[in-house]
Structures are given as C-alpha cells and as structure tokens.
Amino acid sequence: MSKRYRAIAEFYDAENDHHRMLQEDVPFFLSQLPRRRRLDILELAVGTARAAIPIAQAGHRLVGVDYAAEMLAIARRKRDSVGLSERELSLVQADLLSLKLRKKFDRICIFFNTFLNFTTLPEQDRVLSAARAHLKPSGRLWIDVFQPDLGMIASPVQVDLDPSVFFEPREGRTVYKVTHVRRALTGQVQHLTFDYRWHDRNGVAQRARTEFDLTYIMPRELQILLERNGLKIERMWGNYDGSSLRYDSPRMIVQAARK
C-alpha cells in the first residue's frame, strides 16, 4: 500500500516558500478564468490555503477540502487573519477518495503535484470520478503536475536533493531540509523522504522525518486517465507563462471538461 503524504503542518508554508512555481501557479490559474464573473471553486487538497486565500480574495467563492486536520487548522487561522468569511472560503475535512459534498462547482483545481500522491490506478480513478461528479455541466477541472524528467527518473536512488534552510516562526526554528528519493521504476512510484534538522531553544539538536510515495505520469497517460473518467482535455500547457507542452516543459497543466 502506498504511503500518503502527511506534511509537518507547522513547517509546510515556510519549507515551500522558496519554490518559484508557488509564486506563479495561482496567478496563471486566475488569468484563465472568465472576467467579471464570480465562480464557485473547489480546491482538492487545500492544505494551509496557500492557493485558496488569493483565489477567494479575487472574488470567487471557494470550498477547500483536505484530510489533515492540522493543515486545516492553519488554513482557518490564515483565512481569519486576512478577513475572509466562511462563506467566501469554506474549509472541509474529508477524504478525496470518498468525497460527497452535495454541491457542484464551476471549477475544480488540484495544485502543486497533489494528484501524484495517488499512486495507484484505482485511487486516480476515484479522485477523477469524484471531481467529475462535483463539476457543473459547464465546469472545468484544473490539474497541475510536473512532467517527468526522463534522465532523473532513470536513477533508482538520489540523496540530499534540494537542500534548503527555512525559518519556522511559531517556534522560532531555523530548519535545514534535504530530500532523498528511492524509485521503483516498474511501478512508477517514488518513495520520498524529507529530512529536517534544527536546534531547539536550549540548543539541543533535533530532527524529524516525513516519508511518502509519489507517482509520475506521462502526458498520454494523463489524457487516458481523464478520458476513461468522463473528462476531455481542452488545454494543456507546459509552464505558467502559457507556453504549450513540449518534451522539455517542466509542468503539465491541464484544463479538462466533462465529456
């Protein structure tokens, strides 16, 4: 059984702040929405509301779903601190694999590689089926994942990737983080380990670890997955500048409609 990603909630915003894509994905998403129209939007795996808050601030009504209570607690604190109401940004604890909100949406979005946390075909089908069931007839699904780097995925083991240092303000910790990856090439599964190290207020060395599985998907595979779940690709971009998907594009950003 694959191991689901469970972030250390108090680290999440600070540890991901250095990723340039997280400054670009929401503005690009908003640029593709109809102008002067308020939409009902569902974000799957809303996390700490990094994306949800600016989308709601742009005037849309957003529902964010996540299975992690500790992430939603941070999201609610952030939402309240910027003055958004529950009606403008509603946060719901639920599992995406069995999602039933009894509401349909103009847009459903899955940002920041989140879809790849579902590593098996049955899980992917359940997520896409649930998404389709929550789309209005004229609604659109938005999925944003990385396009696999063939040279990188050919390496069965990589250690000490993406070293970074971040400051976690609530506990006043400066944390050092590295990533290790172990790949099972036949199953298209990557086992990721995030290693964190810091010193507490007494100067004692501390460490923590998060481990989870992530798949990777080729463009044609993504098209097949969508089509067999009643969805069709309308647009596919290769990056947040609006460029078309190429062999060397870093991202696969898809807008899909109901078939």
How far is Cα 15 from Cα 23, in angstroms, rounded to an integer?
14
Within its chain, how far is the Cα of 235 from the centroid? 19
Window from 17-21, 190-194, 233-237 with minimum mean pLDDT: 17-21
pLDDT tens figures, 105-151: 999 999 999 999 999 999 999 999 999 999 999 999 999 999 999 99
pLDDT tens figures, 161-218: 999 999 999 889 999 999 999 999 888 999 999 999 999 989 999 999 999 999 999 9
How far is Cα 166 from Cα 169, in angstroms, rounded to an integer?
10
Mean pLDDT of the chain: 96
Q: What is the mean pLDDT of residues 221-241?
A: 98
pLDDT reading at 253 higher than 80: yes
Question: Which amino acid is it at 256?
Answer: A
Radius of gyration of the chain, Cα coordinates, nearest whole angstrom: 18
Pairing relationship of beta strands 205-215 and 189-199 according to DSSP bridges: antiparallel
Q: What percent of the chain has pLDDT over 70?
A: 99
Kindly tell me the burial class for residue 31, based on how many C-beta atoms sit within 10 Å of its own C-beta (0-12, 13-18, 19 or more).
exposed
pLDDT of residue 103: 96
pLDDT of residue 84: 98
The secondary structure of residue 254, as a DSSP letter, is E
Contact 15, 166 (CB under 8 A): yes
pLDDT grade for 243, boundaries at 50, 70 and 90: very high
The full DSSP string for 103-172 is: --EEEEEE-TTGGGG--SHHHHHHHHHHHHHTEEEEEEEEEEEEPP-HHHHT-SEEEEEEEEEEEETTTT
Task: Look at the block and give the residue holding tokens 């599964």.
Answer: 189
pTM of structure: 0.95
pLDDT of residue 1: 54
Contact 1, 29 (CB under 8 A): no
38, two tokens: 């308020």
pLDDT of residue 185: 82
pLDDT grade for 237, boundaries at 50, 70 and 90: very high
pLDDT tens figures, 70-109: 999 999 999 999 999 999 999 999 999 999 999 999 999 9
Contact 194, 207 (CB under 8 A): no
pLDDT grade for 2, boundaries at 50, 70 and 90: low
107, two tokens: 């847009």
